[in-house]
């Protein structure tokens, strides 16, 4: 089973700063990776799939990168509405599409 490890567990940033979140897969998953944003009291929101393809309507300050076992989600200039927990999800290996444990982004 593929295990997804996200780091750091939490990140405290200032508004306007660049935030870099990491996600590591225990095995090669090519680019079979998605990123989600989860705000308190809301449902998760898909941000990126295919490691780097941004979903329509997601602000351009969000970008994804990486392949194989190492992936990043970058928020180029942190806004107050970006405060959330961010999860990565792999979908490479049948039968499971596992999530990481999440990175909490705070101001």
Partner 1 sequence: QVQLKESGSQLAKPSGTLSLTCEVSGGSVSSNFWWTWVRQSPEKGLEWIGEVSYAGTTNYNPSLKDRVTMSVEKTWSSNQFSLKLDSVTAADTAIYYCARATRGSGFNDYYGLDIWGPGKPVTVSS
- Interacting residues with partner 1 (CB under 8 A): 1, 30, 32, 34, 36, 38, 43-46, 48-50, 55, 85, 87, 89, 91-102
Nearer to partner 1 (CB atom), residue 68 or residue 77: 68
Q: Shortest Cβ distance from residue 3 to partner 1 (Å)?
A: 12
Count of CB atoms situated within 10 Å of the CB of 26: 13
Q: CA-CA distance, 79 to 61, in Å (whole number)? A: 9
Nearer to partner 1 (CB atom), residue 16 or residue 95: 95
Nearer to partner 1 (CB atom), residue 14 or residue 43: 43
Nearer to partner 1 (CB atom), residue 77 or residue 96: 96
**CA distance to 10, 37, 78, per residue, from 62 (Å):** 18, 11, 9
List all residues 6 or more positions away from 23 whose beta carbon is below 8 Å from its beta carbon.
Answer: 4, 5, 6, 33, 35, 66, 70, 71, 72, 73, 88, 100
Q: Shortest Cβ distance from residue 14 to partner 1 (Å)?
A: 25
Q: Shortest Cβ distance from residue 84 to partner 1 (Å)?
A: 12
Q: Shortest Cβ distance from residue 83 to partner 1 (Å)?
A: 16
């Amino acid at each position: 089973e593929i295990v997804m490890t996200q780091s750091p567990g939490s990140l405290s940033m200032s508004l306007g700063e660049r935030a870099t979140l990491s996600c590591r897969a225990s095995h090669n998953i090519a680019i079979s990776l998605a990123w989600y944003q989860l705000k308190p009291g809301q449902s998760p929101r898909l941000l990126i799939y295919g490691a780097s393809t941004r979903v329509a309507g997601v602000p351009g300050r969000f970008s994804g990168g990486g392949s194989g076992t190492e992936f990043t989600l970058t928020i180029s200039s942190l806004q107050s509405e970006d405060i959330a927990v961010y999860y990565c999800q792999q979908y490479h290996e049948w039968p499971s599409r596992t999530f990481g444990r999440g990175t909490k982004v705070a101001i």
